[in-house]
A and B are shown apart, each in its own frame.
Chain A
Amino acid sequence: MIKVENLTKRYAGQPAIRDLNFEVSQGEIMGFLGPNGAGKTTTMRILAGFMPPTSGRATVAGFDVFEQSLQARAHLGYMPENVPLYSDMRVTEYLNYRAALKGVQHRRVAERVGDVEELCGLKEVKKKLIGTLSKGYRQRVGLADALLAEPDLLILDEPTIGLDPNQIRQVRELIKNLGKHHTILLSTHILPEVEMTCSRVIIIHKGRIEACDTPDNLLGKIRQAGGVVLEAKVGKDNGAEQLKKISGVRDVITDGEDEWKRFSLRVESGTDVREEVFRLAAERHWAVRELTQRRATLEDVFVELTHPDLV
Chain B
Amino acid sequence: MRKFYTLLAREVRSYFYSPIAYVVLIFFLIVSGIDFYFQISFMNQRQVQYTVQEAFFNSVFFWFAFVLIFPLITMRLFAEEFKLGTIEPLTTVPVRDWQVVLSKFFGALVFYLILWIPTLLYFGIFLRLTNQPAAHSAGAYFGSYLMLFLLGMFYLSIGCLTSVLTRNQIIAAAISFCAITLLFFLGLVQFILLDVTSTTRELLGYFSAIEHMGTFSRGVIDTRPIVLYVSMTIVMLTLTYQAFQSRKWRL
Contact = CB atoms under 8 A, between A and B. Distances in A.
B99 to A, nearest CB: 9
Given A50-B88, A84-B85, A97-B6, A102 B93 contact: yes
B91 interface: yes
A103 B1 CA distance: 11
Contact of A106 (B2, B91, B92, B249): B2
Interface in B85-100: 85-96
A115 B6 CA distance: 21
B250 interface: yes
Interface string B83-119: 0111111111111100000000000000000000000
A155 to B, nearest CB: 9
Given A50-B88, A80-B85, A82-B85, A100 B2 contact: yes
B91 A50 contact: yes
B236 to A, nearest CB: 25
Contacts of A86: 10, 14, 86
Given A70-B94, A88-B18, A101-B7, A52 B248 contact: yes
A199 interface: no
B92 A78 contact: yes
A84 B88 CA distance: 8
B46 interface: no
Quick one: which of A49, A66, A74, A84 has the most chain B CB within 10 A? A84
A54 B250 contact: yes
Given A49-B92, A103-B3, A88 B85 contact: no
Contact of A97 (B10, B18, B249, B250): B10
A73 B250 contact: no
Q: How large is the interface on B (under 10, 10 to 19, 20 to 34, 35 or more residues)?
A: 20 to 34
Contacts of A74: 94
A294 B94 CA distance: 49
Given A50-B88, A88-B17, A88-B18, A101 B3 contact: yes
A101 B93 contact: yes
B175 to A, nearest CB: 24
A76 B248 CA distance: 19
B120 interface: no
User: Which secondary structure dominates where chain B touches chain A?
Assistant: helix
A49 B91 contact: yes
B248 to A, nearest CB: 5
A145 B86 CA distance: 13
Contacts of A98: 89, 93
B48 interface: no
Nearest to B6: A100
Nearest to A99: B6
Interface string B217-249: 000000000000000000000000000000111
A86 B84 CA distance: 8
B251 interface: yes
A100 B92 contact: no
Contacts of B249: 52
Interface in A53-95: 53-55, 66, 70-71, 73-74, 76, 78, 80, 82, 84-89
A45 B248 CA distance: 12
A187 to B, nearest CB: 15
A87 B251 CA distance: 33
A85 B89 CA distance: 8
Contact of B89 (A51, A106, A145): A145
Quick one: which of B2, B18, B91, B92 has the most chain A CB within 10 A? B92
A101 B92 CA distance: 10
A209 interface: no
A73 B248 contact: no
Quick one: which of B10, B90, B94, B249 has the most chain A CB within 10 A? B94
A54 B251 contact: yes
Given A82-B85, A84-B85, A48 B3 contact: no
A103 B99 CA distance: 14
A224 to B, nearest CB: 39
A309 B208 CA distance: 70
B248 A84 contact: no
B94 A103 contact: yes
Interface string B54-95: 000000000000000000000000000000111111111111
Contacts of B250: 52-55
Interface in B1-54: 2-3, 6-7, 10, 14, 17-18
Contacts of A84: 84-89
Quick one: which of B7, B10, B88, B91 has the most chain A CB within 10 A? B88
Sort A-B residue pairs by CB-CB distance and give the 4 closest, nearest first. A84-B85, A88-B17, A100-B6, A74-B94
Given A54-B250, A78-B92, A101-B94, 11 more contacts: A50-B247, A66-B248, A73-B93, A74-B94, A80-B88, A82-B85, A84-B86, A86-B14, A88-B18, A100-B6, A101-B7
6 contacts: A53-B250, A80-B89, A80-B92, A86-B14, A88-B18, A101-B93
Interface of B: 2-3, 6-7, 10, 14, 17-18, 84-96, 247-251
